[in-house]
């Protein structure tokens, strides 16, 4: 059985790609899968920080690509999850230090020793994006319920469609109370525009900022509701059908058509 | 044909008395709004500072450098008026006049939109530099909204600028990215800092970096601090920059920053004190980086 190779992308920056990669990766590992997370943001890496592994970096992705070390030497094991490791990006190199082919080769190598390879894509749709997508077989598109984020996601969905890549959507940082007051787009609104299948809805949580700063993925916190939410996302990725949590909200389009279940 | 100048060698300052219709006697200031990390508020900052500077009577051009992922038009509520874009100008398909879109509310505020269905590598850096120079001949301020990342889009956005405003949120990852960008910019751009999306209540609880924490690492002149307010999301979705009004703390903060950019001696907002500092954590990241 070969591994699932999934790129986490968005177009717009700051919508939560890295946080999603870290928490989803940690959750999949907790569920017993062997997981490798690859930071494709060469020059602006952050996945190491979000997982609190920045001090343990010895080699990076560019050094693997250049054949200066083995993949297994560059992988950092996250001791909290046993079967989770990350391949950090180089911090002082440019995105064009690695070719699409080299990137795809590294993803394939990782896939030989993992069940899930999650690729944390940089913002934008330049060379860094093309690299991150090169080795993936499926995509998770992360967006926030904001007009600008959705426009960027739409552009990315178009690019992934051109490649024939299957993709699913995570709506991140939803604030149900703002949706209720009509000040934020609802999940149906977002889905209606992007028209791709929904993988998960993650509410905005103040704690994310703190846990990210501390390098402790929020799914480590047994009391946090996001733990359950990421668990459901992981199970949906595994193929389970799980109903979406109702945040008791109907958006503009939802009100209009009345039929779709609220996120 | 003008000769391109290095940043600041002309020593030009904008004419603070310039009014609509006036042609500035000297070259305007080209300022790139950048951050490295995406989603920290570059576009929102550009729209609001442009609005606030124009409210002072200055002639302002906002340039969206995010070819392929433009958003400045949405944030300004001008998306349905955009006909031409930066690449049309660079390709000499249209003149600057044809491509500049006047703001609905501010006579002296103009947008030059990015192309949505083109790629960043279609931008010729030298032509971009020339175009920004041409804008500086006609505007007091040219604010360039930089894309996320440090790839070609960043390099082109920076090409014609003489100054930089870096936007950073109080997050370790944003600080790290900004630190990298400041390193790439070097001293020539005299980068100044806006700390965006501060939540003072979280800072007090020790759950968010304080302005001091952020600037202990970055050590940049502080231009201003903007609090995290739901209104920002609302006004951004609606295409109505907060700074169109002067009401409320956030709108006032943008107007204060605009005044500081214009050279007025307005104090920067007093940064919040953090009870528990993240400095140890930050030190380990930045001290030990390879």
pLDDT tens digits, B183-240: 999 989 999 999 999 999 999 999 999 999 999 999 999 999 999 998 998 998 899 9
Give the ipTM of the model, two decimals please: 0.89
Angstroms from A157 CA to nearest CA on chain B = 12
H/E element holding B19? none
Q: Is A217 within a domain? A: yes
Q: Is A53 within a domain? A: yes
User: Could A12 and B177 be called an inter-chain contact, meaning their C-beta atoms sit closer than 8 Å?
Assistant: no
Per-residue confidence band for B13, with pLDDT thresholds at 50, 70 and 90 = very low
Identify the pLDDT of residue B267: 81
Q: Which residue has the higher pLDDT, B7 or A90?
A: A90
d(CA B96, CA B98): 5
A9 in Cβ contact with A156 (< 8 Å):
yes
- For residue B288, pLDDT beyond 70: no
A125–chain B Cβ distance below 8 A for any pair = yes
Q: Is A262 within a domain? A: no
Q: What is the dihedral of CA A215, A11, B193, B244, to 10 degrees?
A: -130
Q: Is A130 within a domain? A: yes
d(CA A174, CA B183): 34
| Residues of chain A contacting B237 with CB distance shorter than 8 Å | 146-147, 183-185
Angstroms from A62 CA to nearest CA on chain B = 14
- For residue A216, pLDDT beyond 60: yes
CA B33, B39, B40 angle in degrees (round to 5)?
Answer: 55
A138 strand-pairing partners: A6
C-alpha R_g of chain A: 18
Give per-residue burial for B210-225: e unless 16+ CB within 10 Å, then b. bbbbbbbbbebebbbb
A218–chain B Cβ distance below 8 A for any pair = no
What is the pLDDT of chain B when averaged over all its residues?
A: 88
3-state secondary structure of B251: helix
Give per-residue burial for A163-200: e unless 16+ CB within 10 Å, then b. eebebbbbbbbbbbebbeeebbbbbbbbbbbbebebbb
- A134-156 pLDDT per residue, tens: 999 999 999 999 999 999 999 99
Identify the pLDDT of residue B2: 39
Q: Is A263 within a domain? A: no
**Which of A92, A94, A148, A210 would best serve as a mutation to test chain B binding (most B beta carbons within 10 A)?**
A148
d(CA A49, CA A41): 13
H/E element holding B64? strand B60-64
Instruction: Identify the burial level of B277 via C-beta atoms within 10 angstroms of its C-beta, where 0-12 means exposed, 13-18 middle and 19 or more buried.
Output: middle
- For residue A251, pLDDT beyond 60: no
Q: Which domain holds residue A208?
A: 4-257
Q: Phi-psi bin for B235: left (phi > 0), alpha (psi -120 to 50), beta?
A: alpha
Q: Is A226 within a domain? A: yes
- B230-253 pLDDT per residue, tens: 899 899 889 999 999 999 999 999
- For residue A260, pLDDT beyond 90: no
d(CA B157, CA B221): 22
- For residue B273, pLDDT beyond 60: no
Residues 65-84 of A with CB under 8 A from B: none
- For residue B24, pLDDT beyond 90: no
- Its pTM stands at 0.89
As for how many domains chain A has, the answer is 1
d(CA B56, CA B259): 8
Q: Which residue has the higher pLDDT, A113 or B269?
A: A113
Identify the pLDDT of residue B287: 46
Domains and CATH numbers, chain B: 29-169+185-190+228-270 (3.40.50.300)
Pick the closest to residue A51 from B276, B37, B279, B172 (CA basis). B172
B129–chain A Cβ distance below 8 A for any pair = no
- B88-129 pLDDT per residue, tens: 999 999 999 999 999 999 999 999 999 999 999 999 999 999
CATH of residue A36: 3.40.50.300
Q: How many CA atoms lie within 13 A of A13 on its CB side?
A: 33
DSSP summary character for residue B162: S
Which of B68, B119, B151 minimises the CB distance to A95?
B151
A203 in Cβ contact with A175 (< 8 Å):
yes
Q: Is A152 within a domain? A: yes
Count the helices and strands in chain A (H runs, E runs). Answer: 12, 8
DSSP summary character for residue A55: G
d(CA A129, CA A120): 10
Cβ neighbours, 10 Å, residue B155? 16
d(CA A148, CA B145): 14
| Residues of chain B contacting A212 with CB distance shorter than 8 Å | 171-173
A191–chain B Cβ distance below 8 A for any pair = no
Q: Phi-psi bin for A116: left (phi > 0), alpha (psi -120 to 50), beta?
A: beta
């Amino acid at each position: 059985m070969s591994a699932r190779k999934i790129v986490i992308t968005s177009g717009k920056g700051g919508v939560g790609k890295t946080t999603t990669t870290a928490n989803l990766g940690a959750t999949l590992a907790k569920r017993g899968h062997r997981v490798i997370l690859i930071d494709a943001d060469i020059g602006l890496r952050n996945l190491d920080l979000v997982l609190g592994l920045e001090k343990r970096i010895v080699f990076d992705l560019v050094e693997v690509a250049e054949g200066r070390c083995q993949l297994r030497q560059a992988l950092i094991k996250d001791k909290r999850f046993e079967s989770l490791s990350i391949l950090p990006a180089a911090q002082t190199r440019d995105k064009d230090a690695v070719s699409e082919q080299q990137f795809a080769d590294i993803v394939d190598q990782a896939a030989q020793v993992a069940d899930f390879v999650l690729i944390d894509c940089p913002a934008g749709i330049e060379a860094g994006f093309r690299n991150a997508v090169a080795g993936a077989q499926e995509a998770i598109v992360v967006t926030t319920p904001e007009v600008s984020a959705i426009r960027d996601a739409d552009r990315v969905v178009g690019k992934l469609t051109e490649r024939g890549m299957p993709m699913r959507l995570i709506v991140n940082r939803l604030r149900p109370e703002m949706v209720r007051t009509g000040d934020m787009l609802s999940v149906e609104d977002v889905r209606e525009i992007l028209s791709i299948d929904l993988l998960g809805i993650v509410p905005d949580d103040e704690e994310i900022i703190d846990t990210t700063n501390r390098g402790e993925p929020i799914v480590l916190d047994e009391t946090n509701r996001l733990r359950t939410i990421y668990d459901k996302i992981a199970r949906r990725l595994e193929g389970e059908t799980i109903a979406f949590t109702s945040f008791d909200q109907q958006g503009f389009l939802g009100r209009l058509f009345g039929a779709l279940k609220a996120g | 044909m003008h000769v391109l100048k290095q940043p600041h060698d002309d020593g030009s300052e904008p004419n603070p008395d310039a009014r609509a219709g006036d042609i500035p006697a000297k070259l305007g200031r080209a300022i790139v709004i950048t951050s490295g990390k995406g989603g920290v508020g570059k576009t929102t900052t550009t729209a609001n500072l442009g609005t606030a500077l124009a409210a002072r009577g200055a002639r302002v051009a906002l340039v969206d450098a995010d070819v392929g992922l433009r958003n400045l038009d949405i944030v300004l509520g001008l998306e349905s008026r955009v006909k031409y874009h930066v690449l049309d100008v660079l390709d000499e398909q249209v003149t600057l006049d044809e491509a500049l879109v006047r703001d609905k509310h501010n006579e002296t505020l103009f947008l030059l939109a990015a192309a949505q269905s083109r790629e960043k590598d279609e931008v010729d850096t030298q032509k971009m530099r020339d175009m920004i120079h041409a804008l500086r001949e006609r505007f007091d301020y040219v604010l360039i909204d930089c894309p996320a990342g440090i790839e070609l889009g960043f390099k082109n956005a920076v090409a014609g600028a003489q100054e930089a405003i870096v936007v950073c949120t109080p997050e370790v990852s944003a600080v790290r990215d900004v630190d990298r960008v400041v390193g790439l910019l070097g001293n020539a751009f005299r980068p100044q800092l806006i700390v965006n999306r501060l939540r003072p209540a979280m800072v007090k609880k020790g759950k968010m970096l304080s302005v001091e924490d952020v600037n202990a690492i970055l050590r940049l002149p502080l231009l201003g601090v903007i609090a995290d307010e739901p209104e920002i999301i609302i006004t951004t979705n609606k295409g109505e920059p907060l700074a169109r009004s002067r009401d409320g703390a956030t709108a006032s903060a943008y107007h204060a920053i605009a005044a500081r950019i214009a050279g007025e001696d307005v104090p920067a907002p007093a940064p919040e004190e953090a009870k528990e500092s993240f400095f140890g954590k930050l030190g380990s990241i930045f001290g030990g980086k390879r």
